Structure 1
Amino acid sequence: MTMRARLAGVVAGGALALFTGAVLAATGGTAAAAEDPTMVDLRQSDVTADDPEFDLGSGNCEEKLDQGADEDIWVFVWPGNAVEELVSLTLNFDTDGDGTADTTLTESDATPTLDNGTLKVWVSTPAGWTLVDGTSEVIGAPAGGKFNLTHSCAGTSEGPTPTPTPVPTPSEPGEGEGNGNGKGGGNGEDDESEEGGLPVTGIQVGGLAAVGAGLLAAGAVALLAVRRRRGLPAELTEPIEG
């Protein structure tokens, strides 16, 4: 290779190097090496959606205005405009109130949104869950080094109202119920007297009178027969009229 050819190659290589350097400078060097994700923790812990510090009230989160009564809305923000991308998100919840996280939501459960260039996401959970803690991986670095629960909207769902047990209406007196002494209800007009004997009826009085008259007549006949046998005066032998 001649000296001229060698010089031409050197000039061409230098020109390529200058062009590549200019491109890298214009793109901030991203072509040389990708930025590694930054691990960022959630600032809040052990908080419920109805916490007065965060709760805006059911249906007041603009992220989901059609919020259901049985769901809580949680909105998170990475402060500042330096975070370019959310790589991963882990939110741990306690669903049964025992103080231990038992359910995890991730970035696939979150809906991203932007607020004047600031990265935000929101998630929905059944009403009553407790947010235990959270972590994330992002490209960039948020102000303060943590991401925040910016606000929430607690649901208003309550338990079903129990149906009252009907109370039976007491029966009125005299409607066929007993009066407590084994006799039927009523005004007591048919009850027999409990102090005296049985009442004397007209039939019983007439029977006694007839028996008495018969006994008197039989006695008179017997007396007349005896007197006749003894020879008593006639006026004494006349029958006694009843």
Structure 2
Amino acid sequence: MPQRRRVARAAVSTAAAAACLTLATPAWASSTVPLHSDHEGKTAANFSEQKCDDPKFDNLPAGHDGWHFVLPTNGAGDFESLTLTFSAGIAGTVTVNVPDPTDPYTDFLSSTGGRNPQVKHAYVFTPAGWTLVDGTATISGEADRFNLSHTCPGTPVTQSPTPTPTQTPTPTPTESDSESPNPSVTPSNSGGAGGGDSDDEGGLPVTGAAATTIALLGVGLIGGGATLLVLRRRRDNITFTS
């Protein structure tokens, strides 16, 4: 009977000790760890490990790079969030938060699966050509750093430049073009005995010889008219007297 009591007391003492150890074990507090320094300043295209057959990259959009970050398994805890800084060329510096509640398909965390899942993976999709400058991760535990596991480089999308419309040069007016011709007609000069040129539209120049001929014709017509007048009077006289 005393022996049974000693065994029972030993069992109770062992259970109590285990309970005390469980209560004394502290819960893992959140901590912040940096990105591995060897992985800073990298583009997806020049990173040493490239693996596009990762199933998580199946939905990688065209013209984008895929980034896979991991928390070393020898450290305790899981990813809670990441803050990554990228250089986007002329667009400047861009900060990417993981997970991104506004776009859970491009910046997200992933667990290891299995019976004891752990959130050891993080994925980020960025426009192709960005450079990973640095980053930090908040984890539920302790670790020295987190790493860039591998990348899937995309092809940058190039846009055809809009053609600049060509302008037809305006011809420079010459001196002859700038002077407008005088549409007026120079009045004809009245010709005397010596004659002159006539600029009347459709007229011909009248020379001195032509003027003399016209004058003679006029005199002849006048003389012929006078002769006819005399003959008519004579005829009238003859008719009257008879």
Scaled by the length of structure 2, the TM-score of the pair is 0.50
Q: In the TM superposition, what is the alpha-carbon distance from 1:153 to its structure 2 partner?
A: 2.7
In 1: Cα distance, 2:209 partner to 2:203 partner: 10
* Equivalent residues of 2:44, 2:67 under 8 A apart: no
In 1: Cα distance, 2:40 partner to 2:59 partner: 26
Q: Does 1:13 align with 2:9?
A: yes
Long gaps (5+) in structure 2: 101-106, 179-196, 221-242
Find the counterpart in structure 1 of residue 228 from structure 2.
none
* Equivalent residues of 1:94, 1:131 under 8 A apart: yes
* Equivalent residues of 1:82, 1:140 under 8 A apart: no
Q: Does 1:52 align with 2:51?
A: no
Matched residues, number: 186
Long gaps (5+) in structure 1: 171-177, 184-196, 221-242
Find the counterpart in structure 1 of residue 124 from structure 2.
123
Find the counterpart in structure 2 of residue 72 from structure 1.
65
Q: Does 1:91 align with 2:83?
A: yes
Q: In the TM superposition, what is the alpha-carbon distance from 1:43 to its structure 2 partner?
A: 0.7
In 2: Cα distance, 1:124 partner to 1:7 partner: 69
For the aligned residue pairs, the C-alpha RMSD in angstroms reads: 5.1
Identity over the aligned pairs, expressed in percent? 21
Q: 1:159 to 1:17 in 2, by over 3 A?
A: same
Q: In the TM superposition, what is the alpha-carbon distance from 1:82 to its structure 2 partner?
A: 3.1
Q: Does 1:181 align with 2:173?
A: no
Find the counterpart in structure 2 of residue 231 from structure 1.
none
Q: In the TM superposition, what is the alpha-carbon distance from 1:52 to its structure 2 partner?
A: 0.7
Q: In the TM superposition, what is the alpha-carbon distance from 1:110 to its structure 2 partner?
A: 2.8
In 2: Cα distance, 1:149 partner to 1:75 partner: 6
Q: In the TM superposition, what is the alpha-carbon distance from 1:42 to its structure 2 partner?
A: 1.7
Scaled by the length of structure 1, the TM-score of the pair is 0.50
Q: 1:219 to 1:137 in 2, by over 3 A?
A: same
Superposed CA deviations along residues 98-137 of structure 1, whole A, max 9, x for unmatched, are 9x97625245653214499993322234553633222342
